[in-house]
Chains A and B, each alone.
Chain A
Amino acid sequence: MKKLFALILTLAMAMSLVACGGSKTNEPASSGSTTPAATTEPAKTDTPAAPTKMTLILRAGTYADVIKECLPAFEAEHNVTCEVQELSESDLYSGIALDAINAQGTYDLCMVDGSWMAEFTENGVLANLSELGYTLDDDIIPATTAICYVDGDVYLAPYYGNVTVLLYNKANVEAAGFTGDSIANLDDILTICKKAQADGKKGFIFRGDSQNNLVVDFLPILLSFGGWVIDENNQPTVNSDAFKKAMNFYLDLISTGDAEVKDDLIASVDTGAGTMGVGWPGWYTPTADTTADYTAITGVASAGDQAYNANVYGIWTIGVPANSQNKELGVELLSYLMDKDVQKSTVPSGGVPCRYSSLQDADVLATYPQYEVVCKALEGGMYRPVIAEWTQFYTILGTEMDNIVNGVKTVDQGLADAQSQLESLMAG
């Protein structure tokens, strides 16, 4: 009896091992319908072919919502079913990266933040769209395509035109004697926020909950002072005079308000408990009746100063992973989503295409006048540094900025520490 039991156990173990170590070569057979050959050549049988399954990995929120609403038409036309994974920014990044190491990838279309571009293309994560027959058309705002090319080939298409804007509460701004259009420089912003603080409200709200948010909210201020985080040789420049001036101004500005998470920031500005903060068009849809609105950041520090380009892109681009099992279909889906009419159809749901045909359309502007501001901001925006080390870069810089903001380090001390750490990072 014992021998029999032992034999059964051994057999069970052996079977488990065989099952766990199943060869990957079996996978295409079991998912044969998803191979490119199968998808491009319809089955020549009387019964309709089973739909091909495509998997999309997208940034959760309005960005994914507008894509999802366009999918049914594509699914019906191409006999596919699309499964959409909606993730937070960090999960999206790791999701794409973790899948990239597999020979046969899970995803057929991915949403990519501009700042990941260098790392992804350097390591062969994304498919060359030019080789697959895709080109970017002239209707797309040229500046938004700056990071989409590598050696003249297209790897990404700018899908959602996120660019930093100044989100403000109309009543609080008016109480300080300004309107959204009359905020001409950073000094005006500080004046408005100080007035709000004197009235017992919060002035400037910033996101202090992560290193990335701390850095991103600060970048438009830094740009307005003529500073930037790296030079033309990709060497860090965070210990510069411009950076220090911008940081000192930022400390004054944030002392009028509070650090809050994104949802609190929006609620705060909407209710008037807070006055303004750096935001993204995807966060808030202003209308004539809403209490808040947004305007482009002018890029001028003080009256009479030089105007810099201070709009930082947070554009969500779309691409096809290099290991996709349905590359041709992926490119077809990407082309469909980037189509002028399809993109324009997403505007009522909060879509922000990087296209003149949408953002300068008379009908669109009649209903959504704020798109004029967005268009201008997109025409002269800046991508975050296109360096493979950006994740480590902002983590280091954000950590030191967090110390400065909370008074643990002085501006000089914090920025000097950040500079030395970033120099060793960039030196490899």
Chain B
Amino acid sequence: MKNTNLEKLNSAQAQTKRFGITMISPTVLVLLVMTAYPLIFTVYYSFTNYNLLKVLKNPAKFIGLKNYIDLLSNTYFRQAILNTVKFTILAVIFEMLIGFLMALLVNSLKRGQKVMRTLLLLPYLLPTVTVALSWRMMLSPNYGIVNQVLEALNLPVYNWFSDIKTAFGMLLLIDIWQSAPFVFLLLYAALQSVPQSQYEAARIDGAGALQTLFYVTIPNIKNSLALCALMRTIDSFRLFDKVNLLTGGGPANSTATITQYIYNFGIKALDFGFGSAGALVMTLLVLFLSSFYIKRAMG
């Protein structure tokens, strides 16, 4: 009798397990087709001299680590890595800081929260191409409003995207302008979930604004902060469209990012083998940076 019950239980468990596997199998299948398959091919191509047009006449050849050696010994690739890391660090810091301040400000408003929320979100809702072209018009050395205002104030004007001193800063500014609202949105949602009782308790205990911020608000939203930082790190690291539209990586490679390098020296010339090696190096770097957040902050 006891054995029969055990068998029944095992059978029910196996059935549940099978059902679970069936349920996740569509997702696994999509992941295999959309992620694993391209990844395997990217790894494979990175060891070949695959060129999209040349393979029409001659098949790609296995060239071992040549693509990786060429890549890592290339001065411009190393410069692109440095630019990307610098951009990512600065962008994430400023976006987190500004987004957090915006969230605190809107959350503290007694009236007009909805209006402010909508207005502050607008830059994030715009397509990147629109953002890039709008800024290009505003910063145009000919008819741009920014230079006209500066001239009217007798201040020096710049050729913002062609000057080695200003191009990187401008890209950073545009990215912060567009992406800080994303941080604001996530942190604002997180702030709404902080229990009011904790604020009341802090107030009764005589905590000041800064103490409340550091001992109540931040500990309550630290997971959201980590998630935001993780998402912005990954996104900033993949920066391409703004660079490609506004500077093309110039002047003098001062704004060249890893993706822009891969595009210029791999994809544009249809050298997908070389491009695949670059993409894998970038993936490893993103994984390295992301693992820091995932391990330390998200447990």
Contact = CB atoms under 8 A, between A and B. Distances in A.
Interface string A380-413: 0000000000011001000100110111100000
Given A101-B52, A395-B265, A210 B140 contact: no
Interface in A7-55: 9-10, 12-13, 20
A88 B140 CA distance: 21
A259 B22 contact: no
B162 A208 contact: yes
Nearest to B167: A406
Contacts of B22: 5-6, 9-10
Contacts of B55: 101
A261 interface: yes
A23 B54 CA distance: 25
A9 B23 contact: yes
A76 interface: no
A361 interface: no
A271 B142 contact: yes
B141 A258 contact: yes
A98 B143 CA distance: 38
B29 interface: yes
Contacts of B23: 9
B138 interface: no
A273 B142 contact: yes
Contacts of B203: none
B248 A210 contact: yes
B141 A260 contact: yes
Contacts of B26: 9, 12-13
Interface string B1-32: 00000000000000100110011011001000
A399 B143 contact: no
A116 to B, nearest CB: 10
Contact of B247 (A20, A209, A392): A209
Interface string B193-208: 0000000000000000
Interface in A165-192: none
A125 interface: yes
Contacts of A65: none
A125 B252 contact: no
B25 to A, nearest CB: 7
Interface string B83-114: 00000000000000000000000000000000
Given A13-B29, A97-B270, A271-B142, A399 B253 contact: yes
B53 A100 contact: yes
B173 interface: no
A40 B164 CA distance: 58
Interface string A266-296: 0110010110000000000000000000000
A122 interface: yes
Nearest to A116: B53
A124 B56 contact: yes
B57 interface: yes
B264 interface: yes
Nearest to B74: A421
Contacts of B66: none
A13 B29 CA distance: 9
Contacts of A120: 53
A333 to B, nearest CB: 24
A125 B53 contact: yes
A395 B269 contact: yes
Contact of B18 (A6, A90, A405): A6
Contacts of A391: 268-270
Nearest to A414: B252
A233 interface: no
B25 A13 contact: yes
Interface string B76-88: 1000000000000
A300 B265 CA distance: 35
B117 interface: no
A162 interface: no
Interface of A: 2, 5-6, 9-10, 12-13, 20, 90, 93-94, 97-98, 100-101, 119-120, 122-125, 208-211, 258-261, 264, 267-268, 271, 273-274, 391-392, 395, 399, 402-403, 405-408
Interface of B: 15, 18-19, 22-23, 25-26, 29, 33, 52-57, 76, 136, 140-143, 159, 161-162, 164, 247-248, 250-254, 264-265, 267-271
Which 4 residue pairs of A and B lie closest in terms of their CB atoms, listed nearest first? Answer: A406-B252, A259-B162, A6-B22, A123-B53
15 contacts: A6-B18, A6-B19, A9-B25, A13-B26, A94-B267, A97-B270, A124-B56, A208-B251, A209-B248, A209-B250, A259-B251, A392-B269, A395-B269, A399-B76, A406-B251
Given A9-B23, A20-B33, A406-B252, 15 more contacts: A5-B22, A98-B52, A120-B53, A122-B57, A123-B53, A209-B161, A210-B248, A259-B159, A264-B141, A267-B143, A399-B253, A406-B250, A406-B254, A408-B164, A408-B252
